Amino acid sequence: MAGAAVAAALRQRLAGLERRLERLRGAGGDDAFLVKGGISLEKLKPLCEEDKEAVNPSNLLQLYTQIVLDITYFEENQLVDENFPEDSSLQRVKELINILSEPEVLVKESNTCQELVGVLGAELLECLSWRRGALLYMYCHTVKEREDWLTENSYLFKKCLTDGIHYLLKMLQFRCPTQLSDVSFRDRDTARLLSEGIFSDTHVLAMMYIGEMCYWGLKHCGVEKPGTHEMDSESNTELYCCLRSAVLDFREVGEKMLMKYIAVCDGPLKGQNWNTTNAILILDYFKKFHC
């Protein structure tokens, strides 16, 4: 799909985003992220005009992705502030997940020779996966306290957990760990973090979120026998592959993520206010849990 085809595909989506933005503003939304999204939207629209000369499709898709991230951020904050209303929040969460998935869908439809990272860049892809995973984490964190809902919707709860873990593990895959033999570091702690594939606080938080969600899965959804798979205790890639099997092994994935989280927080991040108390308690629960 050339630049003109990408522009045509974007025009439909931009019209939908514009209507969404108007509705949010009409409801009193003067949030800075909505303003930023609106400015970027007005910038992108003329670039997608039919008579526009050849444009770089990657640039169009990156700007579109940033608009999606800005507008949905406002809506996510709304849901959190409203404590995920029981009658409407699941549908709203699904909508936001779908919107945040659109940039990747567009790239795949474009049939370019480039991989996702080559078109959107690792940083935007990490943001898209983080935002979907964190949204499902916050949703599950809230609804797990609603006993009646949980009893009636255990399958939905498990699916939200599994999807959320999938997005967070996916986020940890876009950048490869730094090979220390190829780079010279003065700071050993930084070197260790980069060699573990940890490039920001968000990567650390994602590991804790995955551990918690796995704990909720075991506690509230029980256990099923996972598909056959071999897993290297040091490999995030193998963890991600685990999600492709028919059943996610909450205990196995949770253990590996929390062990890494604790090692990092008590190692190179020691003294930087990362708390491992809850992670240790969950690990203890996993170890006592007999399948």
Q: Per-residue pLDDT tens for 152-168?
A: 999 999 999 999 999 99
Residue 67 and residue 202 in one domain: no
| pLDDT (0 to 100) of residue 96 | 97
Residue 254 and residue 152 in one domain: yes
Q: Report how many domains make up the chain.
A: 2
Residue 142 and residue 284 in one domain: yes
3-state secondary structure the chain: CCHHHHHHHHHHHHHHHHHHHHHHHHCCCCCHHHHHHHHHHHHHHHHCCCCCCCCCHHHHHHHHHHHHHHHHHHHHHHHHHCCCCCCCHHHHHHHHHHHHHHHHHHHHHCCCCCCHHHHHCHHHHHHHHHHHHHHHHHHHHHHCCCHHHHHHCHHHHHHHHHHHHHHHHHHCCCCCCCCHHHCCCCCHHHHHHHHCCCCCHHHHHHHHHHHHHHHHHHHHHCCCCCCCCCCCCCCHHHHHHHCCCCCCCHHHHHHHHHHHHHHHHCCCCCCCCCCCHHHHHHHHHHHHCCC
| pLDDT (0 to 100) of residue 276 | 95
Residue 110 and residue 140 in one domain: no
Q: Which residue in the block uniquely carries the two structure tokens 């220390």?
A: 180
Predicted structure pTM score:
0.86
| pLDDT (0 to 100) of residue 244 | 43
How long is the chain?
291
pLDDT tens for each residue of 195-241: 676 768 899 999 999 999 999 999 998 755 444 333 343 444 444 44
Give the domain-ending residue among 120, 135, 156: 120
Residue 2 and residue 87 in one domain: yes
Residue 87 and residue 11 in one domain: yes
Residue 164 and residue 96 in one domain: no
| pLDDT (0 to 100) of residue 165 | 97
Residue 213 and residue 175 in one domain: yes
- Provide the residue-wise pLDDT of the chain in tens; the chain has 291 residues: 567 788 888 988 999 999 999 888 876 657 888 999 999 999 999 988 865 666 788 899 999 999 999 999 999 999 999 999 999 999 999 999 999 999 999 988 876 666 788 889 999 999 999 999 999 999 999 999 999 999 999 999 999 999 999 999 999 988 766 666 655 556 666 666 666 767 688 999 999 999 999 999 999 987 554 443 333 434 444 444 444 443 578 999 999 999 999 999 998 888 888 999 999 999 999 988 755
| pLDDT (0 to 100) of residue 285 | 93
Give the domain-ending residue among 89, 105, 120: 120
Residue 171 and residue 111 in one domain: no
Residue 159 and residue 45 in one domain: no
| pLDDT (0 to 100) of residue 113 | 60
Residue 81 and residue 163 in one domain: no
Give the domain-ending residue among 89, 120, 151: 120
Contact predicate 226/249, CB 8 Å: yes
Average predicted confidence (pLDDT) for the chain: 83
Structural domain boundaries, residue 217: 125-291
Residue 96 and residue 5 in one domain: yes
C-alpha to C-alpha distances, 239 to 14, 117, 173, 283, nearest whole angstrom: 36, 20, 10, 17
